[in-house]
Structure 1
Amino acid sequence: MLGLRRLLAVSGHLGGRRAPAVAPAFAASSHSTLFVRALQILAQPGPVRLQKLSAPDAGIMELRLERPEAKNAIGKEMLQGLRSAIEEVEADATANVVLVASSVPKVFCAGADLKERRLMGPAEVRDFVNSLRSTFSSIEALSIPTIAVVEGAAFGGGLELALSCDLRICGKDAKFSLPETSLAIIPGAGGTQRLPRIVGRSRAKELIFTGRRFDAAEAVTMGVVNYCVPAGEAYQKALELAREINQKGPLAIKMAKKAINQGAEVDMTSALAVEEECYEQVLHTQDRLEGLAAFAEKRKPVYTGK
């Protein structure tokens, strides 16, 4: 409401300023129109929307990119929206899996907002890229699984966003690239590190050195995406996977993710120690006993995350 008061104050309706003399009916109409406009401005959705799905899909969350005028290019506002959404997901004990999708037809994310970037000095660019890298690392570090839903273009930072997710599903018309070297820079939000871990060092070098685009079929072959489905059906496939994950023991899913992610960064002996530690976390849970009981009674388990 503070923002609304400011908008009204600017027009002379608040703050002690007097508006020009007008007929009472017109004044009332003008005031009403301004009030509605102010509400519309304040109510405009931001470029990132986070929502929970309702039963029977409770536990599944959707993070949606919604900046159609810029093909979901990542600017300061979207970056802040992403950070806020991630914090909200991590703080929600009922969340079991997150879908990262676009509400803009035929585009996942076109990358960084280059129009905004042109107005930044070197120090501001550095701060922005560091914050973007940190944000994508926060997505990767979420304790629950994340699934990127890619329809259309995933370029630059858009591909880096998808790579920070645990799983990636794309439509047949999806296009991918890390074109930063064409702009005399490098992928700076994790692309030089996550891509080679997925496709191998040599293939990643080729894609980054040339900046070339590759299609959905090649993305599947290289392992960039887990599944490629007909155009327009990526969300449905991702939702099916999310539903499967959502039925499993929540603590087990979290510990499996932790074991895989942390184990992949160390030697085998250390990795097996990580696995042992994670197994210990699920050993004394109510869910483990529920799983055994459900198996014996030939019924579906009802997990509570305890």
Structure 2
Amino acid sequence: MKFNNILVEKSAALAQITINRPKKLNALNKETIAELSDAFKILEEDDAVKVIILTGSGEKAFVAGADISEFADFSIEEGQTLAKKGHEILFDLVENLSTPVIAAVNGFALGGGLELAMSCHFRIASTNAKMGLPEVSLGVIPGYGGTQRLPQLVGKGKAMEMIMTAGMISADEAKSVGLVNHVTEQEELLPLAEKLASKIMRNSSVAIATAIKAVNAGFKDGVDGFGIEITGFGDCFGTDDFAEGTTAFLEKRRPDFPGK
């Protein structure tokens, strides 16, 4: 896979996507969003890939925001279209991917960068990471899911404070409020992501995909999350992974899940 603004690497069942615009602090522009969308779709269709790590190049930034120059003169209608398309082709896509996505936040994750990290299934961060939604300082609001996903992760009050002050929080504070799961030194960030990925890959990819769907359902208006869980739980009984997992347990051995 060849792209202009991202790098995609695969090693056995693990894939890594690196946003590679270091001179722009990996800021998201239209082309980068499109490339990320394509890469995630390709990896999602690859049955060999069990976990995806998303990170930024260099030591300064995961993604330092959106490329403001691309939309500074947009009309109301163009602004709405920008947000809608972003949700459709990337942010909602990542959130609903059946392949687990770990965001390895290495530095600044601001605006669209934090929104991208929040669309991943969970996040880890380096000690130098700074996170925030500065959009109101530009006279606009977060438009790629920030007003929705941030309250889900940190609670309404903290989300309101972060959005209204347009300030940044440290990696340690992000961990204390539940925005990231782990904080580590920058040189240990990717090894930690890989360690977590290896733990995930030991388990049933079919069950994990079903769990992602059920968890996400609980945060959607008008969707019966418990109903999705019940259906998904039952569906698992018809999978080869369930047969292998239960057999391995009874035989006191490690399962070898076929992913079906």
For the superposition of Structure 1 and Structure 2, which TM-score range results when normalised by the shorter chain? over 0.9
3-state SS in 2 of match to 1:162: helix
Tell me the distance in 2 between the aligned counterparts of 1:154 and 1:128: 20
After superposition, the Cα gap between the structure-2 partners of 1:109 and 1:302, relative to the gap in structure 1 and judged at 3 Å, is same
The one of the two structures with greater contact order (alpha-carbon pairs below 8 A, sep at least 6) is 2
Aligned-residue CA RMSD in angstroms? 1.9
Q: Which structure 2 residues correspond to residues 1-306 of structure 1 after superposition, within 5 A?
A: 45-53=3-11, 58-118=12-72, 120-122=73-75, 123-134=77-88, 135-265=90-220, 270-306=224-260
Unaligned runs of 5+ in 2: none
3-state SS in 1 of match to 2:48: coil
After superposition, the Cα gap between the structure-2 partners of 1:208 and 1:295, relative to the gap in structure 1 and judged at 3 Å, is same
User: Normalized against structure 2, the TM-score is what?
Assistant: 0.93
User: How far off its partner does 1:45 sit?
Assistant: 4.6
Tell me the distance in 2 between the aligned counterparts of 1:132 and 1:93: 26
User: Normalized against structure 1, the TM-score is what?
Assistant: 0.79
Deviations 1:15-56 (Å, cap 9, x if unpaired)?
A: xxxxxxxxxxxxxxxxxxxxxxxxxxxx98511222321xxx
User: How far off its partner does 1:104 sit?
Assistant: 2.2
Deviations 1:259-282 (Å, cap 9, x if unpaired)?
A: 1111343689x3322111001221
User: How far off its partner does 1:195 sit?
Assistant: 0.2
Aligned length: 258
Q: Which moved more, 1:132-141 or 1:150-159?
A: 132-141
Q: Which moved more, 1:256-265 or 1:186-195?
A: 256-265
Tell me the distance in 1 between the aligned counterparts of 2:87 and 2:214: 23
Deviations 1:193-246 (Å, cap 9, x if unpaired)?
A: 000111111111111011011101100011000111123322111111111111
Tell me the distance in 1 between the aligned counterparts of 2:197 and 2:191: 10
CA contact (8 A) 1:151 1:232 kept: no
Identity %: 38
